[in-house]
Amino acid sequence: MDVRSAAARVPVAGVLAAGALVTALAGCAGGGSSTQNMDTPGHTLPARSPQAWLLVGTTSRGTALTDETGSALYAFVPARGQSAECAGTCQTMWPPVLTSGAPRAGAGARSELLGTVRRPDGTTQVTYAGRPLYRFVKDFYVGQARGQRLYDFGGVWYLLDASGAPL
């Protein structure tokens, strides 16, 4: 028996065992319903229901409108002469809040301010106080609000308070 080949197999077996342990522990952590994701692109926030629920929650920038998972929601205020529509590359960074039914108001949100608008692609986007709502892909954690007052795609992105006014 070649001593080098036996020694070479030990680290591989050790790596495989360690990988299995990490996988098992990862499956136990969070119980499968964790609302916080890893701070890396590619990790996603929890699945959202087809019917949008909006509420007023706590974000890293203060109390603001959030979705049912606690993710911050934004409105876009275009600069003069810029388009008010976020489509194409813009919606890759700022995905619209879509719904397949009437949006619902949760804690702190005002149902009379909820509405929808039909997007050019035929989907239905949620509005609050007449402003179409978006999420920001660089908000990796629930409650994170990295997009607040960010100038991007020809305008400024704002969190909204319970009355629908930009923070």
Same domain, 111 and 63: yes
Same domain, 9 and 76: no
Q: Is residue 13 part of a domain?
A: yes
Q: Is residue 14 part of a domain?
A: yes
pLDDT score at 44: 44
Q: Is the pTM of this model over 0.85?
A: no
Q: Is residue 85 part of a domain?
A: yes
Same domain, 77 and 133: yes
Q: Is residue 116 part of a domain?
A: yes
Same domain, 79 and 12: no
Helical (H) or strand (E) element with 3: helix 3-28
pLDDT score at 129: 96
Q: Is residue 68 part of a domain?
A: yes
pLDDT score at 84: 82
Q: Residue 13: which domain range?
A: 3-32
Q: Is residue 138 part of a domain?
A: yes
pLDDT score at 85: 83
Number of domains in the chain: 2
Same domain, 27 and 60: no
Q: Is residue 167 part of a domain?
A: no
pLDDT score at 81: 83
pLDDT score at 82: 81
pLDDT score at 42: 45
Give Cβ neighbours of residue 58 (< 8 Å, ≥ 6 apart). Answer: 70, 143
Same domain, 23 and 73: no
Same domain, 83 and 133: yes
Closest CA to 153 of 71, 94, 96, 97: 94
Same domain, 135 and 71: yes
Same domain, 69 and 28: no
**How does strand 74-78 pair with strand 150-152?**
unpaired
For the chain, 167 residues long, give each residue's pLDDT as a single digit of tens.
444 444 444 443 443 344 433 333 333 333 333 333 333 444 444 445 578 899 999 999 999 999 999 999 999 999 888 878 898 999 999 999 999 999 999 999 999 999 999 999 999 999 999 999 999 999 999 999 999 999 999 999 999 999 999 99
Q: Is residue 42 part of a domain?
A: no
